[in-house]
Amino acid sequence: MLYVPQSYKKFLYGQTYLKVFSYICTMKSTFYGKETSDMATIPDENEIREILKDILEAIDEKAGEELLKRMIVRVYRRGEIIFNEEKTPRQMFCLAKGKVKIYKNGIGRSQTINILSSVSYFGFRAAIAEGKYLTSAAALEDSLIIKFPMPLMKEYARTYPRMTYLFLKQLSILLGKAAERTVTLTQKHLRARLADSMLYLLDCYGTQSDGHTLACSISREDLANLSNMTTNNAIRTLSQFASENLVTLNKRSIRIENIEALQRISQLG
């Protein structure tokens, strides 16, 4: 039972007190900067340190302890928005577990720019450019996200060259992938786009234990957005691949039967 001092009750009059008290009793509990969730077990400190190993090794021990103290760990449900374009960046994010898509809203549908896997840092480009987000981010599946205050991360980036290099390297990799995807999405035909997207997912996530089934569950709509085509075109082209024995479909899972053929289709454009 949550205890509220009598003096504080007197300060809160009538319905205002009841509303505030109800909110306090029902909000998510928080401990050591971590939001608890019924979706997954929040990792302990040792697990968090291992996930953030690259950052913690780039800064000194005191800064590392401050970072761990001020971070927030949260589980985002599948489809939940992490940040929206045109918003001012307040935090930087680390994808600890799960999958996140980076996308941009267009006319009638969105365009998936990138798909992230763990461990990835994201949401910092806009802060470095001192602008707003140009893209949005959402969880493709239930994902564990670590959030850091942006002012603290910018301070560390100015103070610790190794940390600056860490983010510069990741940003360079993302820009390189984005350049390759731009050519695919603007110059290739539908079959090549879809083949390229499946190879892209294979490169990002690998396969399940059978060595063929993509280690990710993706909806037809998300696959279409990743391939810059309508959902109907994605479904139709994917069905053609299945009839040609290039892939086997089972709801959201895709088993690649002939990777060499998909590579040829992707290369031919």
Task: Please state the pTM of the whole predicted model.
Answer: 0.70
| CATH class of the 188-268 domain in this structure | mainly alpha
Condensed to tens digits (0 to 9), the pLDDT of residues 159-176 reads 999 998 988 888 888 788
Tell me the average pLDDT across 61-65. 93
Domain 34-183 has CATH 2.60.120.10: yes
Cβ(98)–Cβ(118) below 8 Å: yes
Same fold, 34-183 and 188-268: no
Torsion sign (Cα): 121, 210, 251, 232: positive
Condensed to tens digits (0 to 9), the pLDDT of residues 175-191 reads 887 777 777 677 788 89
Domain ranges of the chain: 1-31, 34-183, 188-268
Give yes or no for a cis peptide into 119 (omega within 30° of 0): yes
In DSSP terms, 72 is beta-bridged to 147
Condensed to tens digits (0 to 9), the pLDDT of residues 193-244 reads 899 888 888 887 788 888 888 887 788 888 888 888 889 999 999 999 999 9
